Amino acid sequence: MKEEGKYDATYKFGNTIVHVVSPQDMTPEEIEQVLNEFHRAGWAIIEELVEKGEAV
């Protein structure tokens, strides 16, 4: 984790301040695993919406 105050970007939206911290370095295998998890989660959401008869 980065030291406090060390942000990659800071944005202000109205009265809200958003600090962005980039993730730690990852191997290609770790990146692939994260992408696969996102993909599975997305399909789970789509399948649930279809079961409920909602638009996808």
- Please list the residues that pair with 10 across neighbouring strands: 19
Tell me if 13 is assigned to some domain: no
Q: What is the pLDDT of residue 6?
A: 85
Tell me if 2 is assigned to some domain: no
Q: What is the pLDDT of residue 24?
A: 84
Q: What is the pLDDT of residue 53?
A: 95
Tell me if 30 is assigned to some domain: yes
Give the residue numbers spanning the domain of 33. 25-56
Tell me if 29 is assigned to some domain: yes
Q: What is the pLDDT of residue 2?
A: 46
In which residue ranges of the chain is pLDDT below 50? 1-2
Rounded to whole angstroms, the Cα distance separating 56 from 51 reads: 11
Q: What is the pLDDT of residue 17?
A: 97
Number of domains in the chain: 1
Q: What is the pLDDT of residue 49?
A: 97
Beta strands in the chain (DSSP E): 9-13, 16-20
Tell me if 18 is assigned to some domain: no
On whether the pTM is more than 0.75, the answer is no
